Structures are given as C-alpha cells and as structure tokens.
Structure 1
Amino acid sequence: MISSTDAVAKKLKCYIDLNQSEWSALGKLPQKIIEMEPGREIVHEGQRKHSAFLLLDGWVSSYKLLPDGTRQIIDFQIPGDFLGLRSLLLRTSDHSFEAVTKVKIAEVPAKNIFAAFEQAPRLAIAVLWAASRDEAMVVEHLINIGRRSAIARTAHFLLELGTRLRLIGVGSDKGYPCPLSQYLLADALGLSAIHVNRVLRQLREQKLLTFQRKKVEFHNLDALIELAEFQTAYLDQDEPIMK
C-alpha cells in the first residue's frame, strides 16, 4: 500500500485534499512493486497491453527514437510521477521509458485504475490533474527547443526540475541532487553534448548555477529566473484547488 507520506501522495496533495477512503483507493492501485537497474527499459514505443506505473523511487527518462537512431528525450520522471498512463486509453505506447538510475516502480494494471476511479471519483480528478500538468510541461519543452536560446532553455529546464523536486521534498532554492549526464541533458534540450558543456560553463562563469558531481547549485536564483523567463504557473503547484 502506498504511504500517505510518499512522493505520489505529496504530488496529488498539491491539487486535492484526499480523504481517507480516497487514500485507501490510491493505495490499492499497485499490483506489484518492481525494482530495475539503470538503463533497463520499462515500456517500449509500440508496446500494447501494458500496465501503467507509479515511480516510487529513482529517475526515468521518456523518449522517442528516430529512424536514424537519434533520440529525443521528452521528459524526465521523478518520484511521484505516473508512467504510461495515457497509453492505457490509447492502448499502444507512443514512446518509451527507461530507468536513468536504479528505480522502484509500482505496476498499475488498467483494471485497478478503473476500479479505483469508480470507488473514488475525486482521485480520478487528481490523476487527471497530474496528467494535464505533464502535458503542460511538454508544451513548455516544445517552446524551449523551438524558441529559447541554448542558455535560456538549459536554465529553464534546470529550474523546472528544481521546482518539481521541491514539491516532493527534495532539494531547496539553493539546488538539488541531479543524476543526469550531459548526454541525457543534450537529448532533452535538442543540443549536442559539447554544446551543453559549453552552456553549463557559461552559466558557471556568469555565477548563475553550477552543475557538477551530480548536483545542481543555484548561485543567483533571481538572475537565473530572469534569464530563463521562468514562470511557474504552468506547473500549477502553489496550493490545493479542491478541498
């Protein structure tokens, strides 16, 4: 059963103040808990009849592979995020999920989700909020790649990750632990690894942030936010909307 103190609960609490029966329905979602090593594929693009998953611990990347073998990372999932929820309705996964670190995931079959939603309609609304928020982040990432400069998109992406992590009690406005390599960042930002290295050096030299030894440190948060034109409204995590 999912504890009310874990990352999933913390994330959903941002939207709705669930009652005891709704917490109970949430706890009954998983069929089993699975641990996977870094680099293991969780779901592959085109896979049918798969379960959704709740990420309980670790980091995951969601991505699409192009015919020439190049990869576009859509986003990184952190504890509290759902994996493959949309594909339960579409029936076929339109992208892949891979463990970035060692992960612990809870397998959630479609029948469990539908039963929980029937028992607790407000839980369904909270999960819909989580899915809508994920879609809003993808839209922002599209703007990042299409319109922002390399340095602004990198700053924006790292600020967004920090904001998401603080929601589940990880890190602070001073920084956060981050297991991502420059190659992973490059595939997420639509840049080469060499370009990412150059941009991170610029941010460090401008005394805005440092990303090294698997940690992002903010040195001048206000200036970084101004550079990235970062606004948190699309993350919609200021306070619960439903009591």
Structure 2
Amino acid sequence: MTEETSPLTRKLGAFVALSGEELAVLDRLHRRRKTFKAGQDLVHQGQSEQAAYILASGWVVSYKIQPDGSRQIVDFQIPGDFLGLRSVLLHTSDHGIEAIVDIEAAEVLVSDLLQAFARTPRLATAILWAVSRDEAMVVEHLVGLGRRDADARMAHFLLELGVRLSLVGLGTRQGYGCPLTQYHLADALGLSAVHVNRVLRKLREDGLVTFRDGKVTFDDYKRLVALADFDPAYLDQSRPLLP
C-alpha cells in the first residue's frame, strides 16, 4: 500500500487535496509500524507518556473502565483513524484502546506531530477536521442513546459505519465487512445482547439489513435511512473543503 492510497490519505482527501510534500509527511508518520493481536491493548486507561497511533488495518475499540470494574464502549475505530491523539495532547489517557482483530498501526510520537504540523499547516488543519468529525460522531451517539428506539439506534449505527468505511474505500451502499460481535453492539448501543439479537432479526425480516458471518448487507438502503432518520451531514465528507 502506497501512502497515496492509505486509509488516512483517503480520509484526509475528503477535506483537502494533499500536495506531494504533505503526502511525504504522512509517509513519515507511517514509518514506525507495529502489529497488535486481537484483544491486546494499545493504550491503557490512565496511561501517561504514550504515543498516538494511525490505524492502518483492522478495527479497534475505545472503552472506559467504570469504578465497579465494568467496561463501557465509547466508539470503534477503523483504518485511517487516529488513536489516542487527544490523550497524547492531554498527557494522560482517559480511555483504553483494544484491538478487536489483529491490526497494524503506525506509532506517532508527539514530537512527530509537532514537526508535521510546523512543516505543513494545511495537513494540521485536515487532521483537526478529522478529530472534530470524530467528536461529532460521539455527540451523535449520545443523541442516539437518549432519543432513538432500539431499531432506529441500530440502523443509524450500521449506516454510520457504512459511510465511514466508504470514505476509506472499505464500504459501499451494498454493505461492508464488520468484525463486531453482538456483545460489542450491545455495549456500544446501551442494549442487552438478547435485545441486539432481536433487533437484528427484525431488521433482517423486514428486508432492511442483514448482519451475518462478519458482513453487513444493506437489503434496502433507502428504507433503512428512513427508519433511522439518518442524515450524514455531521460526518462532513460530501466534498473537499480546502483547495
């Protein structure tokens, strides 16, 4: 995979047409590659002086450990996402990050980021856009937990993942590969695993979406969008924003 086709380049390309110099800086940010096994933590909650990562392949989950020891999933990250960037800038991680499948990620030190930002201000702006977009998704998830019923919540979540994956060339309106379990979905959506199973079965029987054998298939995309009242404007990826 060349830097011109890396997931992060595809993602940032929705915001700015990257120059040769900016691509070279991104290439340098990807040089310190590491692999992590499924179930392995990249970052521990409360950890300090850690690096950030750029996810090159695979999926990870961000989570918080509650005082009673239980775990709450905050979000899932896909290729092209930054991992732990906020925690690097704040010096202490307020959440953990765990690989869902075997992954490859590029380790990025804070000094790497500062040098990259100083050399290429447009690239710094594009990364700020990507981080702001991630924050907008967290807000949307909070709205979903408080305002959407279980069917709409699930539909919205699966549609959002599809839009995110399409940006990095890993999803279409027909569907996408998805390694999440029903337990992952339950934790992220504030439902029980039994309820998740029931909701997925209903959506499948209604001819809207099928989630089976690690693949999400949109059986009727338009009707699913209508059920979820899904407006992807908060994802802000309809056109390049900077020349």
| Letter in structure 2 aligned against 1:27 | D
- The aligned residue for residue 36 of structure 2 is 36
Give 3-state SS (helix, strand or coil) of 1:176's partner.
Answer: strand
- The aligned residue for residue 55 of structure 1 is 55
Give 3-state SS (helix, strand or coil) of 1:46's partner.
Answer: coil
- The aligned residue for residue 13 of structure 1 is 13
**Number of equivalences:** 243
Instruction: Confirm or deny: 8 A CA contact 2:62 2:73 kept in the other structure.
Output: yes
Q: Deviations over 1:14-35 (max 9, x none)?
A: 0011111111112112451111
| Letter in structure 1 aligned against 2:179 | P
- The aligned residue for residue 228 of structure 1 is 228
Aligned-partner Cα distance in 2 for 1:105–1:2:
15
Aligned-partner Cα distance in 2 for 1:106–1:151:
36
Q: Deviations over 1:46-67 (max 9, x none)?
A: 1100000000000000011112
* 1:70, distance to aligned residue in structure 2 (A): 2.3
Structure 1 residue 96 and structure 2 residue 100: aligned?
no
Give 3-state SS (helix, strand or coil) of 1:184's partner.
Answer: helix
Instruction: Confirm or deny: 8 A CA contact 2:156 2:228 kept in the other structure.
Output: yes
Q: Deviations over 1:108-150 (max 9, x none)?
A: 0000000010001111000000000000000000011111101
Q: Deviations over 1:158-187 (max 9, x none)?
A: 000011111111121111111100001111
Aligned-partner Cα distance in 1 for 2:191–2:12:
33
Alignment of 1:132-143 (within 5 A): 132-143=132-143
- The aligned residue for residue 201 of structure 1 is 201
Instruction: Confirm or deny: 8 A CA contact 1:28 1:116 kept in the other structure.
Output: no
* 1:71, distance to aligned residue in structure 2 (A): 1.9
Aligned-partner Cα distance in 2 for 1:2–1:222:
35
- The aligned residue for residue 76 of structure 1 is 76
| Letter in structure 2 aligned against 1:15 | F
* 1:77, distance to aligned residue in structure 2 (A): 0.4
- The aligned residue for residue 185 of structure 1 is 185
| Letter in structure 2 aligned against 1:53 | Y
- TM-score between the two structures when normalised by the length of structure 2: 0.98
Aligned-partner Cα distance in 1 for 2:141–2:196:
16
* 1:89, distance to aligned residue in structure 2 (A): 1.5
Give 3-state SS (helix, strand or coil) of 1:238's partner.
Answer: coil
Aligned-partner Cα distance in 2 for 1:39–1:217:
26
Aligned-partner Cα distance in 2 for 1:45–1:163:
29
Aligned-partner Cα distance in 1 for 2:217–2:122:
38
Aligned-partner Cα distance in 1 for 2:30–2:45:
22
Kindly, what percent of the aligned residue pairs are identical?
Answer: 55
CA RMSD of aligned residues (A): 1.1
Aligned-partner Cα distance in 1 for 2:214–2:199:
17
Instruction: Confirm or deny: 8 A CA contact 2:3 2:26 kept in the other structure.
Output: no
| Letter in structure 2 aligned against 1:17 | A
- The aligned residue for residue 23 of structure 1 is 23
- The aligned residue for residue 110 of structure 1 is 110
Unaligned runs of 5+ in 1: none
More deviation in 4-13 or 65-74? 65-74
Aligned-partner Cα distance in 2 for 1:157–1:69:
26
Instruction: Confirm or deny: 8 A CA contact 2:14 2:237 kept in the other structure.
Output: yes
